[in-house]
């Protein structure tokens, strides 16, 4: 019957997605309130019936996966109750000091700024010595930090890829677009940071020594 298929000839079901065994990453997106969590949760459950190991991950700061499955999930993949091969996790938008310090160090090394990671002698040491507050306070004030941490979790999953399929329960469209644009945004930001270091690094190093902070800026 004509009503059984849409204009493109595909049945209005999820079967065409389930049949594509080559799919590794599935993003469920849309504006707020359209049912992204419901669709992604149902899709993950159906995939678990035909795939070896499935992970559903929420990148929305306002997580709903725990409500959908009536089970508390964290930033660590957790086996969903009643399943043997379905895992769920929610990216934690709260940035811990060690996590941000480590991320800052990795970004600094990647951009040629030198080692800035490690809570003992990196960014946290500089902030604590200057009275500017903790790293977590600084990180929480950075625009897009939740997208950065979400992107970091995605990179970890890419590196390990212990799952046959990963379903992303994304945030509303604007947030998700910022998440996907994060690599190019980061590249531009690091370029500006390099320019600032080359221009003001010597002066800031002298000021830091006068304040008794040390040469942290010069080593960043």
CA proximity to 66, closest of 32, 28, 37: 37
Q: Which residues are within 8 A (CB) of 220 and not within 5 positions of it... i.e. 6 or more apart?
A: 108, 113, 114, 116, 122, 123, 126, 197
Distances (CA, A) of 151 to 25, 84, 125, 175, 217: 14, 27, 25, 12, 26
* C-beta separation of 122 from 201 below 8 A: no
* C-beta separation of 67 from 88 below 8 A: no
DSSP 96: P
Beta strand extents in the chain (DSSP E only): 25-28, 54-58, 78-79, 86-90, 165-169
Q: Which residues are within 8 A (CB) of 89 and not within 5 positions of it... i.e. 6 or more apart?
A: 55, 56, 57, 58, 73, 74, 75, 76, 77, 78, 153
- Whether 60 is catalytic: yes
Q: Which two tokens stand for residue 125?
A: 């040491």
Tell me how crowded residue 154 is: count the other CB atoms within 10 A of its CB.
19
Q: Which of 4, 8, 19, 60 is catalytic?
A: 60
Catalytic positions, written as ranges:
60
């Amino acid at each position: 019957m004509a009503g059984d298929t849409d204009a493109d000839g595909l049945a209005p079901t999820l079967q065409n997605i389930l049949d594509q065994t080559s799919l590794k990453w599935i993003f469920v997106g849309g504006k707020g309130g359209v049912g992204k969590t419901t669709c992604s949760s149902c899709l993950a459950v159906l995939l678990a019936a035909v795939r070896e190991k499935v992970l559903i991950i929420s990148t929305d700061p306002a997580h709903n996966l725990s409500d959908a499955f009536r089970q508390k999930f964290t930033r660590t993949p957790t086996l969903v109750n009643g399943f043997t091969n379905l895992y769920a996790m929610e990216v934690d938008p709260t940035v811990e000091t060690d996590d941000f310090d480590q991320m800052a160090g990795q970004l600094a090394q990647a951009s040629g700024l030198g080692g800035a990671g490690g809570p003992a002698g990196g960014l946290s040491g500089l902030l604590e010595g200057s009275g500017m507050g903790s790293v977590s306070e600084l990180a929480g004030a950075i625009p897009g930090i939740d997208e950065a941490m979400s992107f970091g979790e995605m990179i970890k999953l890419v590196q390990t890829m212990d799952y046959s399929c990963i379903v992303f329960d994304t945030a509303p469209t604007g947030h998700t677009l910022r998440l996907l644009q994060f690599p190019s945004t980061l590249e531009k930001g690091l370029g500006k940071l390099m320019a600032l270091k080359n221009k003001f690094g010597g002066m800031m190093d002298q000021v830091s020594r006068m304040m008794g902070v040390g040469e942290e800026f010069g080593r960043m």
